Structure 1
Amino acid sequence: MTTTDTQIAVPDTVRGELRRGVRSVLVDPVALRLVRERFDSEQAGALGRYLAASQSPNTVRAYRSDWVAWSAWCAAEGRQSLPADPLDVAVYVAAAADARKTGGEWAFGAATLERKCAAIAAVHAANGLPSPTRSDVVRLTLRGIRRTRRTQPKRKRPVLLHTLEQLLAELPAPGWPTEPARRRDLLILLVGFAGALRRSEIAGLRITDVSVHLDHHTGEPMLLIQLPATKTDPSGSTGQRVALPRGGRPPTCPVCAFTDWIRLREAYAEHGRGGLPGWLDATPVGTDLHRCHGFTGTTLTDPDLPLFPAVSRHGGLGSTAMSGRAVAELVKRYAARAGLDPTLFSGHSLRSGFATQAALGGASDREIMRQGRWSNPRTVHGYIRTANPLDDNAVTKLGL
Structure 2
Amino acid sequence: MENLNGLNSLIALDAQDDISARLRELVRDKGAFAANTWEQLISVMRIVAAWAKKEGRIFFPMKSTDLRDYISHMEEKGMAVSTIQVHTSMIAMLHREAQVVSPTSSSTVRRAMRLTRRSALVAGERTGQAVPFRRDDLFSLDVLWVASDRVAIIRNLAFLHVAYSTLLRMSEISRIRVRDIGRAPDGRIILNVGYTKTVLKAGGVTKSLSFQSSERLTSWINMAGLADHPDAFLFCGTHRTNKAIINTTKPLTAPSMEKIFSDAWAALEKNDVKANKDRYTCWTGHSARVGAAQDMAAAGYSVAQIMQEGTWTKPETVMGYIRHIEAQKGAMLDFMEHGKKTN
In 2, Cα distance between equivalents of 1:388 and 1:142: 28
Query: What letter is aligned with 2:168?
Result: L
Quick one: distance in 1 between partners of 2:194 and 2:7? Answer: 22
Pairing partner for 2:5 from 19, 22, 30: 22
Q: Which residue of 2 aligns with 1:8?
A: none
Tell which structure's C-alpha radius of gyration is larger.
1
Worse-matched range after superposition: 85-94 or 125-134: 125-134
Summarize the alignment of residues 2-21 of structure 1 with structure 2, pairs less than 5 Å apart. 21=4
Other-structure match for 1:240: 205
Alignment-mate amino acid for residue 162 of structure 1: D
User: What is the match of residue 164 of structure 1?
Assistant: 138
Q: How far apart are the structure 2 equivalents of 1:25 and 1:109?
A: 29
Q: Does 1:203 align with 2:174?
A: yes
Residues 1:308 and 2:257 aligned together: no
How far does residue 198 in structure 1 lie from its aligned partner after superposition?
Answer: 1.6
For residues 274-322 of structure 1, what are the alpha-carbon distances to aligned partners after superposition, in whole Å with 9 as ceiling and x for unaligned? Answer: xxxxxxxxxxxxxxxxxxxxxxxx44332xx211122233334152211
Gaps in structure 2 of 5+ consecutive residues: 18-24, 273-279
- 1:74–1:375 Cα change, 3 Å: closer
The equivalent residue for 2:214 is: 255
- Write the letter of the residue equivalent to 2:335: K
Contact 2:154 2:219 in 1 (8 A): yes
Map 1:326-345 onto structure 2 (within 5 A).
326-340=256-270, 341=272, 343-345=281-283
Change (3 A) 1:143 1:365: closer
Counterpart of 1:103 in structure 2 is none
1:393 aligned residue: 331
Cα separation, 1, equivalents of 2:234 and 2:153: 14
Residue of structure 2 in register with 1:189 after alignment: 160
Paired letter, 2:41: Y
Q: 1:352 aligns with which of 255, 280, 290?
A: 290
Q: Among 253, 256, 276, which residue is 1:323 paired with?
A: 253
Task: Give the 5 Å matches for 1:1-400.
Answer: 21-22=4-5, 51-99=29-77, 106=78, 108-150=79-121, 151-168=125-142, 171=145, 174-175=148-149, 178-179=150-151, 181-214=152-185, 220-233=186-199, 235-237=200-202, 239-246=204-211, 253-266=212-225, 298-302=227-231, 305-314=232-241, 315-319=243-247, 320-340=250-270, 341=272, 343-387=281-325, 389-391=327-329, 393-398=331-336, 399=338
Compare 195-204 and 372-381 and name the one that shifted more: 372-381
2:283 & 2:289 partners in 1: Cα distance? Answer: 11
Give the counterpart letter for 1:139 in structure 2.
R
TM-score normalised by L of structure 2:
0.79
Counterpart secondary structure, 2:281: helix
* Cα distance per residue 1:358-391 (max 9 Å; x no partner): 2333434454344333444454455554336323
User: What percentage of aligned pairs have identical amino acids?
Assistant: 24
Q: Aligned pair in 2 of structure 1 residues 97, 174: CA closer, same or farther (>3 Å)?
A: same
Aligned with 2:70: secondary structure? Answer: helix
Tell me how large the CA RMSD over aligned residues is: 3.2
Deviations 1:174-215 (A, max 9, x none): 33xx32x1221111100111112222221221222221112x
Post-superposition offset of 1:86? 1.9
Which amino acid is 1:153 matched to?
T
Give the 3 Å change call, closer, same or farther, for CA 241–131 of structure 1 in structure 2.
same
Instruction: Specify every segment of 5 or more residues in structure 1 that has no aligned partner in the other structure, as ranges.
Output: 1-16, 35-46, 100-105, 215-219, 247-252, 269-297
Checking the alignment, whether the CA contact within 8 Å between 1:26 and 1:126 is kept in structure 2 is no
Instruction: Quote the offset at 1:24 in angstroms.
Output: 7.2
Contact 1:26 1:123 in 2 (8 A): no
Shift of 1:137: 1.6
The DSSP-based 3-state class of the residue aligned with 1:321 is: coil
TM-aligned CA distance change 1:317 to 1:27, over 3 Å: farther
Q: How many residue pairs get matched?
A: 314
Letter in 1 for 2:310: G
Shift of residue 134 of structure 1? Answer: 1.8
User: For the Cα contact (< 8 Å) 1:22–1:48, is it kept in 2?
Assistant: no
CA contact (8 A) 1:213 1:224 kept: yes
